[in-house]
Every structure is written in C-alpha cells, then in structure tokens.
A and B are shown apart, each in its own frame.
Chain A
Amino acid sequence: MVTTYLDFEEPIKELVDQINQAKEISEKSDVDMKKTLTELNTKLAKTTKEIYDNLTPWERVQVSRHPERPYTLAYIEAFTGGNFIELFGDRNVKDDKAMVGGFGLMDGESVMFIGQQKGVNTKLRQYRNFGMANPEGYRKALRLMKLAEKFNKPIVTLIDTPGAYPGLEAEERGQGEAIAKNLLEMVQLKVPVICVVIGEGASGGALGIGIGDKVLMMENTWYSVISPESCSSILWRSWDFKVDAAKALKLTAEDMLKNKLIDGVIKEPLGGAHANPEEAFKLVKSEIKKHLKVLKKDSPKKRIDARIKKFAGMGVYNSK
C-alpha cells in the first residue's frame, strides 16, 4: 500500500482516506457501505487517471523518484521468480553496490540482468550510494555483459540513476574512461541488448549501460543529459527553475520517443508503478519478452549494424 503521496496526488490521498474510513465504518458497525465504497472507488480511479494523464514533465520527474517506486532488484526478482544468481565485483577494485547484475531465468530463458540499484530505506540508500555508480560499477557491468556475450545470452539493463557518482575517488579511478569504454563495447555486443529506463535516466551515468538494440522508457520516467535541478542551477543560475528546466529539456518518455531517441514507451499501471508494482513488473516483462523474441531472429551482425546505424543517426542540425 502506498504511504507517500506527492503534492499533486493530494486528491488521490483524500479519496483513499475516505475509502479507508468507509471500510472501517462497515467493519465496526452494521451500516452498509457497499454503495459508498463502489462510488468512492470509481471516483478514485477517475481522479487518478485524470491526474496521471495530465502530469507535467516536472511531476513525472517526481513520480520517477517516488520513494515507493520499485527498483532494479525488485524487477529482477519478479521477472525470474527468484531464479537469479547475483554476480559481484569488477575483478579489479571492488564491488559497487550501486550497480547490480547477474544471470536470471526468465520463463526458462537465461538472461543477464544489469542495473543501477537504489536503496529502499535510509540506511540502504547510503549503502547503494543513491544509485550513483563509481567507475568499478560500470566496469562490473561491462564484465557481466562480456560474460553474457561469451555464453550467448541476451542482456537486459535496467536504468535508474541520478547520475554517475561525481566523487574524488571516482575521478581518480577514471569515471569518464569507464563510461566511454562501455559505450564503445556495448555498441559491438554480439547478443541482443535491451535497455529499460525504470526511474531516472541521468546523463552519462545512465547512458553507460544504455546502448541497446531497443531502448525503452517506462511512462513516468525521465532521460536527459542533465537533471532539471542542475540544469536550472547552470542555465538560470538559480535552483528555482527546475520546473521550467524539466519542461525545456523534453525529458519525458513521450518526448524522447517523439524525438526518436528511444524505441518505445512502456505503460505503467494506473497511478504509476509504485501504486501497483506487480502490474508494473508484468508490463515491463512482457515488453522485454516481446522485443527479445524479435531480436533473437536476427544475426549478430545485423543487430550490431542496426545498433550503430540507430545511434549514429541521432542528432538534428542545419546545413548550408
């Protein structure tokens, strides 16, 4: 059950409270609340739909960061029914807790799952470094991708990061080189690669595991070169223009698809993924399986050529 409501979800919260009250009344007394409950539930569905059909870009950014939104490991758990072997470490420096991965069995098929992982509570958020990977996270991701390639297993990456970690040690250990290397290598992977933005897709930190045959975004996620807050601080020289920045950046799934920078949008359950995680898992899984089925029919060369052609074609410019 959802316990955190965003500002614009206030009408939803009020209805949920009313429904809970009505339930309590019917449990504690003989009053028949059936009709009231039906009406309230209809109203809740209608209100939720109205709100979610009209989210502004900034509101979508807020949904993408909802504290109860499911994170990478929850998706993998649901996709594989627990048939998942997590693999740790970059074989060089350490294991990065902000980047997870491993082989999983999805309806009998082995898949390499990789993604940024955010923590589910205060303590774990720190442990996961808020989903901001260090260079060893990107190198671990690459190690696992090469492993998948070796055994001819498809790769699914789940993207959810506020950015690659901008720390001192990250710089010392080559954050830029680590991400760059992943871009170069992912372009050439011989196995099918599907990338899904399940929350935040912030800049190079997201792209570092984001080169795929199909790049998909869930309905209430964002993907851009910079977060609206940082964009506001740099271009407006103030933190107060995040709403304007979110709009200007065209960072929603819908805009990204329109600009042909992604290959598809995955619907979310009514009220967002956090309102019904099980349904969200199902929707994402079915999209992944649908695309994998098609991609597997092509030869590695055909997939790689198409991947290069797709990314090489991105960009809009004038010529005179």
Chain B
Amino acid sequence: MAWFRRDKEGITTPTTEKKETPEGLWYKCPECNTVVTSEDFEANLWVCAECQYHEKVGPEEYFKFLFDGGKYKELDPNLYSADPLEFEDKKKYADRVKDTMEKTKLKDAIKTAHGKLDKKDIVIACMDFKFIGGSMGSVVGEKIARAIEFARKKKYPFIMISKSGGARMMEGAFSLMQMAKTSARLAQLAEAKVPYISILTNPTTGGVTASFAMLGDFNIAEPKALIGFAGPRVVKETIGKDLPEGFQTSEFVLEKGFLDFIVQRNEMKQKLALLLNMLKK
C-alpha cells in the first residue's frame, strides 16, 4: 500500500488508452489473460493485479501518479520533428511523422515536465512508446537535454523514464548524436551534483541504453522490462542459438550488476521520494 494519496482526478485515463481495451471497458492481461475493468486497471496503475505484468503507459500516466496531485507544467511542449535528411524508405519520414502526430495526438516520443514529488520540485522526462516505437530523434534528444539544463540551473533532481526501441533511423547520424548530446548535458548535471535517477521501463534498448538510460546516479527498473543494448533477435542471430530464459529482463540486468534496484510501479513514487529525501543536504 502506497503511503501517498492519489487524487481522484489524477487517475482518469485518456481516451486513447481506453480504445485499446476491448469495448473500452475491460483490460485483458496479455500475460495471464486475467480480465479486469478499465477502472480497476487504472487504479492499479496499469499493472495486472494477478501477475504483476506492467503494461506500457506513457508520460501522461506516469506524470499523473508521480507528480503531487497529478499537477505539472510541461516543458518545451511545442517541439516536433523536422526531416533533416529528407529521408524516404517505403514511406517518407515527413509523412510518417505527420501521420503519427495525427493518430497519436502527440508531438513526439517524449514529454518533459516540472512539478512536485512529495512536495519537492522535480523534473521528469518520460518517453512514449506509441510514437514510432519511442525512438530517439532530434526532438527526443533536444527535450531531454533542455530538461536536464532546466534541472541543473534550478538544482531540481532529474528523473528520466526510458521506454524506447532505440535510435530513430530516419534521422540517421542526427539521431546517433543525441546520445552524445544527452550525455554531455548529464556530465554537466553530475558536475553540479544534482541527482539523476534513471528509470528503465519495458522496453529500453539500443542507443537509449547506451547513453542516458545507463547513466543514472541510480539506475532502477520496473519488473520484467526488456533492457539491453542489442535487441534479443539480433543477439540470437549473432550467437546462433536460443537465448537463456529471462535474458535481458530487469531481473537479469540487476543480477549482472547494472541496476540499483527494481521497483513495482505502485511503489515507485514512495521509493523515489524516500531516496531523494536521503540525498538532501
């Protein structure tokens, strides 16, 4: 039981989420097939009460239960993707971005915000898997970099919730350099001794893992998230045999020494508050 109280308004689900459940009223867990009402599912922070499967959710959901009273101010809400390479595969990247923006009502694969967590100022950046697989292009990199800068100048702790398939190929080397950009800003944040907590959620792979996601003062993860540099399919092809059970899960990554701890979503806020409280001067 969490010690904090969630606002009743704080747990309303956006309509886009409801559409994904059958008839808009029920949620069926893909892991154990347990069916619950959407309302109960939301109340349990989109985690299956039966098997603890943590459903993928986006910034709005995380912001609502992490920020006190679900209240926050979004930072840089107006950035959206350009098409620096005029990239075209089977589809033009510019069209892909436009269509995705219309379909998801999102600007890109991330939102950054400032608010209070347990009455203390905090900056949270959270990726959104619904937008081109949470891929990192210039907008994602820039918004993270700006959020870090904001946190550094204000001396507010910074929390990064990663959820990404990796780099956005359609931005080529621009996307690659977002790893350098975010790491450069994190170096400055560390220099200023401002706490940085990296939360890895399902999935966190590729260039995101190989940059900011692994650079927290604390690297923590939700249970059973897929976390890795190379994706499981690529690793399997490389070694030419089946992967061991549980490979690249949060629990595996913790055992290998790359996570500080694993946290259930319904204990996340409490743990963050406690940890940040311990770091206070």
Which residues does A use to contact B, with CB under 8 Å? Answer: 164-168, 170-177, 179-181, 183-184, 187-188, 203-204, 207-208, 210-211, 223-226, 231, 234-236, 241, 244-245, 248-251, 256, 259, 261, 307-308, 311-320
The total number of A-B Cβ pairs within 8 Å is: 193
Specify which of B188, B228, B229, B257 lies most central, judged by the most chain A CB atoms within 10 Å of its CB.
B229
Rounded to whole angstroms, the CA-CA distance of A171 and B253 in the bound complex is 9
The reply to whether B181 and A204 form a contact with Cβ atoms under 8 Å apart is no
B202 interface contact, C-beta 8 A: no
With known contacts A166-B230, A315-B178, A184–B172 Cβ distance under 8 A: no
Please give me the residue from chain B that is nearest to A245 by CB atom. Answer: B89
In the assembled complex, which residues on chain B have CB atoms less than 8 Å from the CB atom of A167? 230, 235, 238-239
> Does B275 sit within 8 A of A, measured CB to CB?
no
Q: How many angstroms from the CA of A210 to the CA of B181 in the assembled complex? A: 12
**Contact A168/B172 with A204-B210, A311-B184, A315-B142 known, Cβ cut-off 8 Å:** no
Q: Which of these, B181, B228, B248, B256, contacts A315 with CB under 8 Å?
A: B181
Q: Which of B139, B141, B176, B235 contacts A224 (CB 8 A)?
A: B176
A-contacting residues, B176-197, CB 8 Å? 176-181, 183-188, 190-191
Residues of chain A within 8 A (CB-CB) of B180 are: 183, 187, 207, 210-211, 311, 314
Cα A225 to Cα B248 with chains together (Å): 22
Partner of B184 from the list A179, A234, A308 (CB cut-off 8 Å) is: A308
Given known contacts A168-B243, A176-B228, A203 and B167 CB-to-CB distance under 8 angstroms:
yes
CB-CB nearest 7 A-B residue pairs? A166-B230, A176-B209, A315-B138, A183-B183, A176-B229, A316-B84, A235-B89
Please measure, in the bound complex, the distance between the C-alpha atom of A256 and the C-alpha atom of B84, giving whole angstroms. Answer: 12
Docked pose: A264 CA to B138 CA in angstroms: 22
The answer to whether A187 and B173 touch (CB under 8 A), given A203-B167, A312-B145, A319-B79, is no
A174 to B253, CA, bound (A): 8
Residues of A within 8 A of B138 (CB): 314-317
User: With A171-B230, A225-B176, A251-B172 in contact, do A177 and B184 touch (Cβ < 8 Å)?
Assistant: no
Q: How far is the CB of B183 from chain A (nearest CB, A)?
A: 4
Question: When chains A and B are docked, how far (Å) is the Cα of A256 from the Cα of B206?
Answer: 22
A307-B235 contact, Cβ under 8 Å, with A174-B256, A204-B229, A317-B142: no
Chain A CB within 8 A of B13 CB? no
* Residues in A whose Cβ lies below 8 Å from that of B177: 207, 261, 311, 314-315
- In the complex the two chains form, what is the Cα distance from A203 to B231 in whole Å? 14
Chain B residue at minimal CB-CB distance from A235: B89
Q: Is the CB of A166 within 8 A of B235?
A: yes
Inter-chain contacts of B181 with A (CB < 8 A): 311-315
- Cα separation A226 to B234 with both chains bound (whole Å): 13
Q: Is the CB of A184 within 8 A of B79?
A: no
Taking Cβ atoms with an 8 Å cutoff, the residues of B that contact A are 78-82, 84-85, 87-90, 138-139, 141-142, 145, 167, 169-181, 183-188, 190-191, 206-207, 209-215, 228-230, 234-235, 238-239, 243-244, 247-248, 256-258
| Given A187-B187, A223-B173, A259-B173: A173 touches B256 (CB 8 Å cut-off) | yes
CB pair A316–B82 under 8 Å, yes or no, is: yes
Q: Chain B residue with minimal CB distance to A256? A: B173
Query: Do A180 and B84 contact each other (CB < 8 Å), given the known contacts A226-B169, A261-B173?
Result: no
Kindly provide the distance from the CB of A306 to the nearest chain B CB, expressed in whole angstroms.
11
* A259 and B82 contacting across the interface, CB-CB below 8 Å: no
Q: Check if A250 sits within 8 Å of B256, measured CB to CB.
A: no
Q: A249-B85, A318-B80 are in contact. Are A307 and B184 (CB under 8 A)?
A: yes
A282 to B274, CA, bound (A): 59
Find chain B residues with CB under 8 A from A315 CB: 138-139, 141-142, 174, 177-178, 181
Which of A248, A311, A316, A317 has the largest count of B CB atoms less than 10 A from its CB?
A317
Min CB–CB distance B217 → chain A (angstroms): 12
Give every chain B residue within 8 A of A166 (Cβ-Cβ).
Answer: 229-230, 234-235, 238
B235 shortest CB reach to chain A, Å: 6
Given contacts A175-B230, A187-B187, A307-B184, contact A180 B211 (CB under 8 A): yes
Contact B247 A171 (CB under 8 A): yes
Minimum distance in angstroms from B178 CB to a CB of chain A: 6
**Interchain CB contact under 8 A, B80 and A187:** no
Residues of B within 8 A of A241 (CB): 89
Chain B residues within an 8 Å CB radius of A236: 89-90
Known interface pairs A171-B228, A171-B230, A311-B177; 8 further A-B residue pairs with C-beta atoms within 8 A, sorted by A's residue number? A168-B239, A180-B212, A211-B184, A225-B171, A225-B173, A231-B169, A259-B85, A308-B185
| Docked pose: A188 CA to B188 CA in angstroms | 9
Residues on the A chain within 8 Å of B229, using CB: 164, 166, 170-171, 175-176, 179, 204
Q: List 15 A-B contacts (CB under 8 A).
A: A166-B229, A168-B235, A171-B229, A171-B248, A176-B213, A177-B214, A180-B179, A184-B190, A203-B167, A236-B89, A250-B172, A251-B173, A314-B181, A317-B81, A319-B78
CB pair A225 B175 closer than 8 Å? yes
Asked whether, in the complex, the Cβ of B85 is within 8 Å of the Cβ of A184, the reply is no
Q: How far is the CB of A159 from chain B (nearest CB, A)?
A: 12
Partner of A187, one of B79, B183, B230, B258: B183
- Let me know if B80 and A320 touch, CB within 8 A: yes
Of B89, B179, B230, which is within 8 A of A248 by CB?
B89
Q: How far is the CB of A251 from chain B (nearest CB, A)?
A: 7
